[in-house]
A = this chain, B = another copy of it.
């Protein structure tokens, strides 16, 4: 680790991003201040300006990193699952929901569109790559729905994406708990779109 007591940090950019991830976990999205991130990285609060000209740049880079981890979560679940169409959809959804549970504030940041620079190519690429995990598993859904045209594929992907995203977001923001259940009830399972469309009586 080159994080000695040196004047030059060595890899401050990376350290700032890691500090950002930690602070997001500890203090939530409203606790993610430039000064706090700098302090966590062990550096004066003006130092980040050399790497991120504005707070917005740091948040954008952080969101890109989040999308990468998000994609990785889906990829991992898929790699572990059987290669059948139905199990691949379910695995991607499991990865989606797991990421949201484990990184609620990273997920919030990814969708705080007003604070991110969506013109940033790195962010766009990371978001697109994450989304590709869903595209890949949605092909068989389009087939099952009988429309494999580009529009049909997009519709199938949107079906999968919407339902898992909606579930994850409702869960994240406490809506499932707030209006549905007695406090002790278990959190409901996500909707099983894969079983619904692809299942042949096995749901």
A124 within 8 A of B: yes
* Complex CA–CA separation, A196 to B194 (angstroms): 12
Docked Cα-Cα span, A25 to B113, in Å, equals 16
A-side residues, CB < 8 A to B, are: 28-30, 111-114, 118, 124, 127-128, 131, 145, 154-155, 158-159, 161-170, 173-176, 178-180, 188-191, 193, 196-197
**B167 adjacent to A158 (CB under 8 Å):** yes
Copy number in the complex reads 2
Considering the chains assembled together, what is the distance between the CA atoms of A197 and B176 in angstroms? 22
Nearest first, the 10 A-B pairs at minimum CB distance are A166-B166, A162-B166, A165-B166, A159-B191, A162-B167, A163-B163, A111-B173, A113-B173, A131-B179, A128-B179
Residue of B nearest to A180 (CB): B154
Contacting residues, chain B, for A112 (C-beta < 8 A): 173
The residues of B that contact A178 with a CB separation of less than 8 Å are 118, 124, 127
Q: Taking CB as reference atom, which chain B residue is nearest A129? A: B179
Contact (Cβ within 8 A) A190 B166? no
Residues of B within 8 A of A190 (CB): 158, 162
Q: Chain B contacts of A180 at CB under 8 A?
A: 131, 154
Query: In the bound complex, what is the Cα–Cα distance between A49 and B110 (angstroms)?
Result: 34
| A28, A30, A111, A112: residue with the most chain B Cβ atoms closer than 10 Å | A111
- In the complex, A131→B163 CA distance in Å? 17
Residues of B contacting A124 in the complex (Cβ-Cβ under 8 angstroms) = 178-179
Q: Which of A29, A113, A131 has the most CB of B within 10 A?
A: A113
**Which chain B residues border A114 with CB–CB below 8 Å?**
28-30
A191 contacts B170, C-beta separation under 8 Å: no
Shortest Cβ distance from A126 into B: residue: B179
Q: For A118, give the chain B residue with the smallest CB separation.
A: B178
What are 19 inter-chain pairs, A to B, with CB distance below 8 A? A111-B169, A118-B174, A124-B178, A124-B179, A128-B179, A131-B180, A145-B196, A154-B188, A155-B189, A155-B191, A158-B176, A158-B190, A158-B191, A159-B196, A162-B163, A162-B166, A162-B191, A163-B163, A169-B169
